[in-house]
Amino acid sequence: MSDEEFLAFLKAMGEYEESLNTYQTTCNAKKELEKKSKTLGNVRTGLMAGNTATAIAGTVIANKNKNKSKTISEKINDCLTTINLRRDDIIKSRFDCGEQEYENLHKMEKACRDFSPKHLEKITTNSTIATVSSAINIGTGVAGTATSAAANSDSVRNNDTDAGVRREKKLNTSANVFAGASAVASGVSTIFNAMTIKAINDNLKVAQSCMEALN
């Protein structure tokens, strides 16, 4: 081997070593990205499955609230009707029964008349909206969970053919769309369930004051 050939050989060896290092670094980075991608895919699937389970529970609770609110609303209306019908009797009690009896009755009337059936009407309306949005959430959640799981399966991820790559991309896009739709539906049902809880709490405060006055 001439000096020129030897130098060319050394240069080729150096280029080979450099290429090999680049290849190994790229391979390691690819493996890390694939591992991270797989983990994120599993997280997406898990979150959507959990969100779907929550939506199912939310639908049951919303329906329960709606059905109960009708009965409670009727009772509140009965209570308010009774107060209105007896208002004259309460005023009369001041003269017929004395100041103390009147004060007791007036205190009860004042504490109990703050009930509002409108709050319960809100519960019925809000629960209906929460039920519908939760039902949508269940549908998108189930579809998204299945799509996400399929997109993240080894058979799909390891298929490097053009058709396989296109399929994986479509599945991931669909899973992300379903995840977005579920997030919106979940947000809507959460807002309306929060409004329902506030309406219930408002009536609970009145109920406590009313019961104290009655006692």
Query: Does a structural domain hold residue 53?
Result: yes
Mean pLDDT of the 72-92 span: 81
Angle at 175 between CA 169 and CA 178, to 5 degrees: 140
pLDDT tens digits, 23-73 = 888 888 888 887 887 787 777 777 777 777 777 776 776 666 666 656 677
b or e along 101-128 (b: 16 or more beta carbons within 10 Å of the residue's beta carbon)?
Answer: ebeebbebbebbeebbbebbebbbbbbe
* 37 within a domain of the structure (yes/no): no
Which domain CATH number covers 209? 1.20.1260
Whether 119 has a pLDDT exceeding 60, the answer reads no
Q: Which domain holds residue 126?
A: 3-26+46-214
Does the residue 40 lie in any domain? Answer: no
Residue 132 placed within a domain = yes
Q: Model confidence over 143-158: pLDDT tens digits?
A: 777 888 887 787 777 7
In a domain, 36, yes or no: no
192 lies in some domain: yes
pLDDT digits 0-9 by tens, 124-138:
666 666 677 777 777
31 in any annotated domain: no
End-to-end CA distance of the chain: 112
| pTM (2 d.p.) | 0.49
Using CA atoms, how far apart are residues 132 and 130, in angstroms rounded to an integer? Answer: 6
User: Number of structural domains, the chain?
Assistant: 1
